[in-house]
Chain A
Amino acid sequence: MPDTTPAKKALLEVDDVTIKFGGLTAMDSVSFQIREGEILGLIGPNGAGKTTCFNVMTGVYQATSGEVRLDGVSLAGRRRHKITQLGLARTFQNIRLFKSMTVLENVMVGADAHSKVGFFDALFRLPRHRRTEEEALAKAKGLLDLVGIKARHDELAANLSYGEQRRLEIARAMATGPKLLCLDEPAAGFNPAEKVQLMQLIKKVRDQGYTVLLIEHDMKLVMGVTDRIVVLEFGKKIAEGTPAEIRDNPAVIAAYLGVDEEDAS
Chain B
Amino acid sequence: MSAMSTTLSGIGRRWDGVVDRYNALPKPARLGLVILFAAFVYLLPLLRPPILTTNNIDFGGVMFSVAAFALVAVGLNIVIGYAGLLDLGYVGFYAVGAYTTGVLTTYHWHWPFFLALPLAIAVTMVTGVILGAPTLRVRGDYLAIVTLGFGEIIRITVKNVEWVGASAGIKDISHPNTIGAAPNPPFDRGGMFDVPRLQWDGIIPSLDRDHPTAVLAFGAVDAIPYYWVILTALILVLVGDRLVKSSRVGRAWEATREDEDAAELMGVPTFKYKLMAFALGAAIGGLSGAFYASGQGGYISPDSFPLLLSMLFVAAVIVGGSGNRWGAIVGGALVAYLPERFREFADYRLLFFGLALSVLAIWRPEGLLPPRRSRRAKAVEAEIEALEEGALEGSTHA
Contact = CB atoms under 8 A, between A and B. Distances in A.
A119 B244 contact: yes
B255 interface: yes
A122 B243 contact: yes
A105 interface: yes
Contacts of B267: 81, 84-85, 89, 110, 112-114, 176
A67 B248 CA distance: 33
Interface residues of B, number: 29
Contacts of B249: 117-119, 122
Given A81-B270, A159-B380, A117 B251 contact: no
B258 interface: yes
Contact of B264 (A80, A99, A117): A80
A173 B269 CA distance: 16
Given A81-B270, A108-B251, A119-B249, A102 B263 contact: no
Contact of A159 (B247, B262, B263, B377): B377
A253 B263 CA distance: 39
Nearest to B272: A81
A62 B168 CA distance: 54
B265 A80 contact: yes
Contacts of A113: 266-268
Interface in B368-392: 373-374, 376-377, 380
Nearest to B239: A123
Contact of B262 (A92, A100, A114, A136): A92
A122 B251 CA distance: 12
Nearest to A121: B247
B261 interface: yes
A132 interface: yes
Contact of A96 (B247, B254, B261, B374): B261
Contacts of B141: none
B240 interface: yes
A176 B266 contact: yes
Nearest to B262: A96
B89 to A, nearest CB: 23
Nearest to A176: B267
B68 to A, nearest CB: 23
A18 interface: no
Interface in A154-179: 156, 158-159, 172-173, 176
A101 B254 contact: yes
A111 to B, nearest CB: 9
B266 A119 contact: no
A89 B270 CA distance: 16
B259 interface: yes
A60 interface: yes
B120 interface: no
A20 interface: no
B270 to A, nearest CB: 7
A64 interface: no
Given A81-B269, A90-B265, A112-B267, A99 B377 contact: yes
Contacts of A58: 265
A100 B374 contact: yes
Nearest to B381: A158
B255 A100 contact: no
B276 interface: yes
A131 interface: no
A125 B350 CA distance: 41
Interface string B348-384: 0000000000000000000000000110110010000
A230 to B, nearest CB: 22
A98 interface: yes
Contact of A119 (B251, B265, B276): B276
A237 interface: no
B276 A156 contact: no
Given A60-B265, A112-B252, A119-B276, 17 more contacts: A58-B265, A60-B261, A81-B265, A84-B266, A89-B267, A99-B377, A101-B255, A102-B373, A109-B266, A117-B249, A118-B249, A122-B249, A122-B250, A129-B247, A133-B248, A156-B373, A158-B380
28 contacts: A60-B265, A79-B264, A81-B264, A81-B266, A81-B270, A90-B265, A96-B259, A96-B261, A98-B259, A99-B377, A100-B254, A100-B258, A100-B373, A101-B254, A101-B373, A105-B251, A109-B252, A110-B266, A114-B267, A115-B248, A119-B276, A122-B247, A123-B244, A125-B243, A129-B247, A132-B248, A173-B266, A176-B266
Interface of B: 240, 243-244, 247-252, 254-255, 258-259, 261-270, 276, 373-374, 376-377, 380
